[in-house]
Amino acid sequence: MEKEEKAFILNKGLILGLVLMLFPIIDLLYGLDMNWKNYLLIFGLLWMIVYSYLVVKWSKEFASYYEIFLFKDAFRTLFLISAVAFGVLTVGKTLLWTVSYPDKYVEINMKRELGLFEMQKSLIDEAYKEGTFNDDQYEEQTKAFNENKSLILSKWEMTKSEGLGVTYFLKVLIYVLFIISIYCAILSFFVRKKEQFIKTN
């Protein structure tokens, strides 16, 4: 890898990582009061748009210096920028959540997970009212719900007492990079520049 390419990837990766750090900061400030609709819009749709736009934009900018930019070149550029960015994001999230606000992280995510289970309980209650479940089935579903809810509470209480640990987000990073590698492979088809064959008489 040439020096200019390394510098480009490192620079854009650092910028992308800092941009993505805005999302955990938003979660810190507004996560406790955020409903599921806003959570999915911000941390699902908006996050994906920002990430995709920036990596594709910078990869196309890098590809413009080449007449031919094959799939493997596009994938390498996309993935390396992403890897640097998520490395920066992991360090930032570790400093933010593990070092500075571990209890807040537990509080936000426990409330979010319990909220999801409460939505499931509403569906169970609605199904019971409509006659989908009889009394025994409803009691069985409710019992399973309460058991799962207790497990969630126990999990987060244990996390709160033991702490997140310095490798908590590093473990998440490994999984994220695997998923991102697949997404980068898809984006590579939009970034690559195939060789143009010119017919001669």
pLDDT, tens digit, 9 for 90 and up, residues 162-175: 888 889 999 899 99
The pLDDT confidence band at residue 126, using thresholds 50, 70 and 90, is confident
CA nearest neighbour of 4 among 12, 152, 87: 12
The pLDDT confidence band at residue 198, using thresholds 50, 70 and 90, is very low
Indicate the SS3 state at residue 198. Answer: coil
Asked whether residue 117 is assigned to any structural domain, the reply reads yes
pLDDT, tens digit, 9 for 90 and up, residues 82-99: 999 999 999 999 999 999
Indicate the SS3 state at residue 132. Answer: coil
The Cα-based distances of 124 to 17, 114, 172, 193 in angstroms read 41, 15, 32, 52
Mean pLDDT of 108-117: 88
The pLDDT confidence band at residue 2, using thresholds 50, 70 and 90, is confident
Indicate the SS3 state at residue 69. Answer: strand
Q: What is the pLDDT of residue 146?
A: 86
Asked whether residue 181 is assigned to any structural domain, the reply reads yes
The region of weakest confidence among 54-68, 86-100, 172-186 is: 54-68
The pLDDT confidence band at residue 195, using thresholds 50, 70 and 90, is low
Asked whether residue 198 is assigned to any structural domain, the reply reads no
Higher-pLDDT residue of 85, 123:
85
Asked whether residue 141 is assigned to any structural domain, the reply reads yes
Asked whether residue 45 is assigned to any structural domain, the reply reads yes
Asked whether residue 115 is assigned to any structural domain, the reply reads yes
Q: What is the mean pLDDT of the chain?
A: 89
Indicate the SS3 state at residue 193. Answer: strand
The Cα-based distances of 10 to 6, 64, 72, 88, 157 in angstroms read 6, 18, 19, 11, 39
Mean pLDDT of 103-127: 88
Number of structural domains (the chain) is 1
pLDDT, tens digit, 9 for 90 and up, residues 12-55: 999 999 999 999 999 999 999 998 889 999 999 999 999 999 99
Asked whether residue 200 is assigned to any structural domain, the reply reads no
Q: What is the pLDDT of residue 125?
A: 84
Give the residue numbers spanning the domain of 8.
3-191
Q: What percent of the chain is predicted at pLDDT more than 70?
A: 96
Asked whether residue 162 is assigned to any structural domain, the reply reads yes
